[in-house]
Amino acid sequence: MVATRPRGGTDYPRGWDELLAWFPDDAECLDYLEWLRWPEGFGCPHCGSGGWRTAKGDWSCAGCHRRVTLTSGTIFERTRTPLTTWFAAGWYMTNQKTAGVSAKGLQRVLELGSYQTAWTILHKYRSAMVRPGRDRLTGTVEVDETLVGGAKPGVAGRGALGKTLVAVAVEVHDPRGFGRARLQVIPDASKVTLSGFVTDTIEPGATVRTDGWRSYVGLDALGYIHEPVNVSASGEQAHVSLPGVHRVASLFKRSLLNAYQQYPKLHLQAYCNEWVFRFNRRHSRARGMLFFRLMELAVQAGPLPYSALIRSTRPREISPIPPVGDGRPRRAAVNDQQRPWRHT
């Protein structure tokens, strides 16, 4: 992608007014996506060869002779929604400080004709918020699990019924402060599951702090410096012994309630990815940088059709509602009179 550090006003818009000025139509949006996808010139995604631009604005590969569109192989593939709407949704999504974005709120802001269109746009963006091959956590890392799902009957803690278990890991800085975080939906709190989460998210050699749960036994053999904390024997509450993961879990669950009024039952991992994307970039002073990173990842992520999004093996209380209309936003009428409000 871009070799040097991106600059506001050159590589990404610095505000909403610049976003509107830079991308007034789909042609400008396509050019921006092409620059992000092929900064050094076209390279066929199938064979890596160069090619030439066709009369329709697509690319023809000189190696495999395939026709490649600017959006093929990305989350924008075969979309019927204007790219200007996609860009506006991406800006709105990345400029929320803590809470996420609800599909109903996005539909209302952009005046989309279909709730399903707003929902699909958000989930496609969420699917791109995990950078392929991202660096694992380093230094001192706290690890624990949290249950997402509100008040439910059953045994308190890991035995609660009807909740989803989410593994949490966060870098802890000395003397204070937190670094990057990771959230992952897990099926259970077994040794195999938790050990896999640790090896996937934490660099070997790091110091891993956990509670006394028996499933964490054996992390030393995996190349980590394991520091278990027996919370019950210490006489302290869990959020005092392991403040990092409990702070992160609390912020995550609070952000879900702020944005959606209830905990999402489906696609919870996608909401985890969105929250981590925003949390790990919380110190960025340029909000346009988050928009730039999102669009950068969007052209790398693969396509995700609507049929794949609604496919699930879990039972649902309410079946998915098919899209109504084309979902295109209402187009504003062009005023060709000078100051028409003066003639009312």
3-state secondary structure of 146: strand
Q: Which of 220, 254, 288 is the last residue of a domain?
A: 254
**231 & 151 share domain:** yes
Structure tokens at 145: 């699990």
> 108 to each of 102, 114, 120, 134, 249, how far by Cα in Å?
10, 10, 15, 34, 29
* More confident call, 32 vs 265: 32
- Tell me, yes or no, whether 235 lies in a domain: yes
Contact between 185 and 166 under an 8 Å Cβ cutoff? The reply is: yes
Band the pLDDT of 189: cuts 50, 70, 90: very high
Question: Which CATH number is 169's domain given?
Answer: 3.30.420.10
- Tell me, yes or no, whether 5 lies in a domain: no
- The pLDDT of residue 135 is 93
pLDDT tens digit sequence for 241-273: 788 999 999 999 988 888 777 777 788 999 999
Work out the average pLDDT over 274-295. Answer: 91
Mean pLDDT of the chain: 85
- Tell me, yes or no, whether 170 lies in a domain: yes
Has residue 231 got a pLDDT over 80? no
Q: How far apart are CA 278 and CA 318, in angstroms?
A: 30
Q: Which of 223, 254, 285 is the last residue of a domain?
A: 254
Region for residue 138 given its phi and psi (left: phi exceeds 0; alpha: psi -120 to 50; beta: otherwise): beta
**159 & 250 share domain:** yes
**117 & 155 share domain:** no
**237 & 317 share domain:** no
Q: How many domains does the chain have?
A: 2
**41 & 145 share domain:** no
Has residue 154 got a pLDDT over 50? yes
Structure tokens at 58: 């697509």
**18 & 110 share domain:** yes
* More confident call, 55 vs 127: 127
- Tell me, yes or no, whether 276 lies in a domain: yes
**239 & 323 share domain:** no
3-state secondary structure of 87: helix
175 prior amide bond cis, ω within 30: yes
- The pLDDT of residue 344 is 47
Residue 146's identity, in one-letter code, is T
Q: How far apart are CA 98 and CA 275, in angstroms?
A: 8
Band the pLDDT of 65: cuts 50, 70, 90: confident
Band the pLDDT of 342: cuts 50, 70, 90: low
Which of 112-121, 302-311, 329-338 shows the lowest per-residue confidence on average (mean pLDDT)? 329-338
Q: Which residues pair with 140 in a beta bridge?
A: 172, 207
**175 & 245 share domain:** yes
Contact between 197 and 224 under an 8 Å Cβ cutoff? The reply is: no
**121 & 150 share domain:** no
Structure tokens at 120: 């699909």
Q: How far apart are CA 343 and CA 325, in angstroms?
A: 35
Band the pLDDT of 48: cuts 50, 70, 90: confident
Contact between 68 and 61 under an 8 Å Cβ cutoff? The reply is: yes
**23 & 57 share domain:** yes
Which of 34-43, 193-202, 269-278, 313-322 shows the lowest per-residue confidence on average (mean pLDDT)? 313-322
Contact between 118 and 309 under an 8 Å Cβ cutoff? The reply is: no
**15 & 124 share domain:** yes
Among 159, 165, 162, 161, which residue's Cα sits nearest to residue 147?
165
3-state secondary structure of 43: coil
Band the pLDDT of 162: cuts 50, 70, 90: confident
- The pLDDT of residue 283 is 87
- Tell me, yes or no, whether 133 lies in a domain: no
- Tell me, yes or no, whether 67 lies in a domain: yes
- Tell me, yes or no, whether 342 lies in a domain: no
pTM: 0.85
Q: Which of 254, 286, 311 is the last residue of a domain?
A: 254
Contact between 130 and 144 under an 8 Å Cβ cutoff? The reply is: no
- Tell me, yes or no, whether 314 lies in a domain: yes
Residue 287 sits in which domain range? 11-128+268-329
The dihedral through the CA atoms of 137, 142, 143, 149 has a sign that is: negative
**153 & 63 share domain:** no
